[in-house]
Each structure stands twice: as C-alpha cells, then as structure tokens.
Amino acid sequence: MGLGETYTTDKIPGSFSQHQSAEERIVTAREVGTSLGNETSDTERNTNLRIVRLLSNDSSLDVRIALAEAVAPLTDVPSEIIRALASDVSEVALPILEHSPCLDDGVLIEAAKHRGTRELIAIASRNLVSTPLSDAIAKRCSATAILRLLANEGAEIAYDTLAVAIESCGMVSGIPTAALNRCELPESMKRRIAEMSDQAVLAFAKRFFNIPSRVVGREVPDFFKIMSA
C-alpha cells in the first residue's frame, strides 16, 4: 500500500506527516512504538495508536521492521496491530513472534504450524512456551527449531513431545541428549549419557521413550536395556 493510499490526511496530530521520508518514518516508528502505554491522556493515546496503525501498513519494509522491534516487548498493544505484524513477512514478524507478550497461544500455534523455519525458531525461543505450543513446534520436525526448544528453560515440554523429537530428528547430533536432559535422570546417568557416542545416545533415547524397535531399525543392545532398567 502506497503512502497516498495509506494516509488520508496531510497531517495527523503529533509530528507525523505523510510527506516524511522513509528514514524519518523509521525514527517515528521507534519513538511512537516505545511510547505506547506511557501516554498521559486519551488524546495522546489515540494519536499514538493512529500513527502505529498507519505505520504497520507502511510501504517501507524497514519502517515496519522498526515498528515491530519497538512494540515487540510491550504489553499494551492492541491485538489487531500485533497480529498484523506477526503475519507480515519474516523480517517484520520475527521480533513479534519471539518477544511479544500480546500474542495468545492460538495465534502462536497457528504460526508454528504454517510459518517458515525462521519463524518457528523464533517461537521456540520465547521466554515462555506452553506445552501445546511445544508440541506444535516438535511436530514440524525441524531439527534446528527442536534444538532451540529443548535448550529453552522456559519451555514446558510433555514427555510425548520429547518422544516426537527423538522419533523425527533423533539422527541430528545433540537432539537425543537434549531430550534426555529434559527428563528427571540421576546425575550419574547424565554423566554416562554425556560420554556416549551419538549413535549410542540415540539408541538409549529410543529405548527410554519406548519408541518401537521398527523405528530404531535394529534391536537395542543389551547394555542399553540395563541402563534404562
């Protein structure tokens, strides 16, 4: 959408004008974005929201990126603005998907199901990741996103989700160990796992999560059965 289509008045309240250059609109995006929630009057609040809505549809990608980065950590941003930015191209969506506390699980789960790998990694990196959201991420079978999820201490991950991670991406180095580290294992067991080869960790992980031998591709050696007993 071009500037002429987006802005219906020559000048709106405040310092923002449709005739600003892209560089000036980037500065405006950063300033008005970070000021949301700190207004001292309804008039100031309404002005800020109007500018933010306009900038969220700006023709310049750099302007929308600047706005997304500014509002991503804020808790008082209207949902329609956050959703619009979250559904934009990757460069705009990434800070929103990773940091915005205004996104509910429904939106995040849909994004995890349908967006690309970069967006999936961003979602897996959120400070808090619910159990259903973790499951949606794991089911995309992206090794990079699963590794990020498993390393995220703020992620709640169900036992079945860990099994999905092993079954889908267990051949990727680090994933079986990371999945096992999410379980309540004795420190002595964790030390033994750390000393295993990747193939040994994978075999043990599949045994530990009761993944059928047909998935493993061969019978698990006896000493893995002893370790998991």
Token pair 């559904």: residue: 87
The yes-or-no verdict on residue 199 having pLDDT over 70 is yes
Domain membership flag for residue 118: no
Residue 106 forms part of a structural domain? no
Q: Encode pLDDT of 8-46 as tens digits.
A: 333 444 456 667 899 999 999 999 988 888 888 999 999
The answer to the question of residue 135 being in a domain is: yes
Tens of pLDDT, residues 155-196: 999 999 999 999 999 999 999 999 999 998 899 998 999 899
94-98, 144-148, 224-228: lowest mean pLDDT where? 224-228
This model's pTM is above 0.85: no
CB pairs under 8 A, 24+ apart, for 195-204?
A: 198/173, 200/224, 201/176, 201/177, 202/166, 202/170, 202/171, 202/176, 204/176, 204/180, 204/228
Query: Contact at 8 Å (CB) between 46 and 34?
Result: no
Does residue 221 have a pLDDT over 50? no
Is the pLDDT at 142 greater than 90? The verdict is yes
Residue 86 reports pLDDT greater than 60 = yes
- Residue 119 domain-assigned (yes or no): no
Exposed (0-12), middle (13-18) or buried (19+): which is 14, by Cβ within 10 Å?
middle
Q: Dihedral, CA atoms, 131, 121, 29, 60, nearest 10 degrees? A: -130
Provide the domain count of the chain: 1
| Distance, C-alpha 25 to centroid of its chain | 27
Residue 200 inside a domain? The answer is yes
**CA-based nearest residue to 207, from 195, 193, 194:** 193
d(CA 97, CA 84): 11
Neighbours of 49 (CB within 10 A): 16
In a domain, 117, yes or no: no
Answer yes or no: is pLDDT of 49 > 80.
yes
Mean pLDDT estimate for the chain? 87
What domain range includes position 145? Answer: 127-229
